[in-house]
Structure 1
Amino acid sequence: MWRPGFAYLGVRPGTLHGWHRSFSIYTTHYRGTPARPGLVLGLDRGGSCRGLAFQVAAGERAATLAYLRERELITHVYLERMVPVVTGQGTVSAVTYVVDPRHEQYAGKLPFDEQVRLIAGAEGIAGRNRDYLAATVAELDRLAIADSLIHRLHKAVEAVPEEQPLGDRPVTHLGDD
């Protein structure tokens, strides 16, 4: 959403029904390591999700799909799906990547404290996991997309001192404000 990485003709806000955004994927590459895995977002079954639908030029579709497959299908934790996205101008078909709940990197619905611990202490080849969360929150805010759980998670991760990862200590829950 905040880093498409490909050329596009236009972009529309849209809603995807039947899937929700969640920190449900262990990352040991981009935002974590095998010794200190982090968490990245996946589209998991149930609910709905507001986001963006990108329009790609017909002549660029094959190259864009090749790029996305190379980026998103490194470990095959995602499944490529063609889905209907409801926009203000009607419903469009879009390619997206949903989490495979049978994959070993699927974290499922982890307790809040565990999500905070993992995100606060992980770093991979693309940077710190906490920065990924911060960039996601900044983009959600820019797009005026309310996601109280992700905002609450960000607040809790930011409360963890950067030089002192949580290890196995419990995290104090922060209320929604």
Structure 2
Amino acid sequence: MTDGSEDLWVFGYGSLMWRPGFPFAERRHAHLFGYHRALCVLSHVHRGTPDNPGLVLGLDRGGRCHGVAFRVLKEEARSTVHYLREREQATSVYLERHLPVRLDDGRAVTALGYVADRKHEQYAGTRVFEEVLSLVRQGKGISGANPDYVRSTHEHLLGMGVVDPLMERIVAALDQEA
């Protein structure tokens, strides 16, 4: 979890990029190899309910993911991990992992990250576009409406110079309805 110091690195690929919710000393663009960002998790809490699930991002196997790495001072590491476990593990759909990431300045660090658990009942896998759009449209949970989550993530990815064709297509479809 460190860069040689005792500070904690955290990798964000979805809402953590734009709403980390914890104090950090440094924020860097970062790449994770071996996983990609995917709308592959049925949300039963934050962006949906068990009866009307939304669809949120998870790290799924294969490819690479451009995200954000946050350096948390060692004094804040314990409380940050506690916060992240409460936020990301509400239904245990993610596996907590220490992941090798490459920062935009060339440093290699190990970061705490959350990977989609393919064995969990909320793992949605790959779905056809119409089903993805339907789940995003219907989802609303304690953290808000699923379309807002997708739009915010899409906007932040564009701000980082990352084009995600699926997110772009979903936002375009949502905008046509507005």
TM-score normalised per structure 2: 0.87
Query: Is the CA contact 1:120–1:160 (under 8 Å) kept in the aligned structure 2?
Result: no
Instruction: Report SS of the residue matched to 2:100.
Output: strand
Match of 1:51 among 48, 51, 67: 67
Query: Is the CA contact 1:119–1:157 (under 8 Å) kept in the aligned structure 2?
Result: no
Which residue identity is paired with 1:21? R
Q: Quick check: 92-101 or 151-160, which moved more?
A: 151-160
Match of 1:25 among 33, 41, 46: 41
Q: Which has the larger radius of gyration?
A: 1
Match of 2:102 among 86, 97, 107: 86
Q: Quick check: 136-145 or 43-52, which moved more?
A: 136-145
Deviation at 1:149, TM superposition (A): 1.8
Which residue identity is paired with 1:158? D
Asked if residue 136 in structure 1 is aligned to residue 164 in structure 2, the reply is no
Query: Is the CA contact 2:45–2:90 (under 8 Å) kept in the aligned structure 1?
Result: no
Instruction: Report SS of the residue matched to 2:177.
Output: coil
Asked if residue 105 in structure 1 is aligned to residue 122 in structure 2, the reply is yes
Q: Quick check: 26-35 or 106-115, which moved more?
A: 26-35
Which residue identity is paired with 2:86? E
Give the whole-Å Cα distance in 2 for the aligned partners of 1:144 and 1:151. Answer: 13
Match of 2:87 among 63, 66, 71: 71
Instruction: Give the match for residue 167 of structure 1.
Output: none
Gaps of 5+ in 2: 1-16
Give the number of aligned pairs.
161
Which residue identity is paired with 1:98? V
| Superposed CA offset, 1:74-97 (max 9, x none) | 111000000110112321110000
Instruction: Report SS of the residue matched to 2:168.
Output: helix
Give the whole-Å Cα distance in 2 for the aligned partners of 1:124 and 1:30. Answer: 5
Instruction: Report SS of the residue matched to 1:23.
Output: strand
Which residue identity is paired with 2:100? P
Which residue identity is paired with 2:160? L
Instruction: Give the match for residue 115 of structure 1.
Output: 132
Instruction: Give the match for residue 14 of structure 2.
Output: none
Give the whole-Å Cα distance in 1 for the aligned partners of 2:139 and 2:85. Answer: 24
Instruction: Give the match for residue 126 of structure 1.
Output: 143
Give the whole-Å Cα distance in 2 for the aligned partners of 1:75 and 1:122. Answer: 16
Query: Is the CA contact 2:116–2:123 (under 8 Å) kept in the aligned structure 1?
Result: yes
What do you get for the CA RMSD once the two structures are aligned? 1.1
Deviation at 1:138, TM superposition (A): 1.2
Give the whole-Å Cα distance in 2 for the aligned partners of 1:72 and 1:125. Answer: 13
Q: How many percent identity over aligned positions?
A: 45
Give the whole-Å Cα distance in 2 for the aligned partners of 1:124 and 1:70. Answer: 16
Which residue identity is paired with 1:92? V
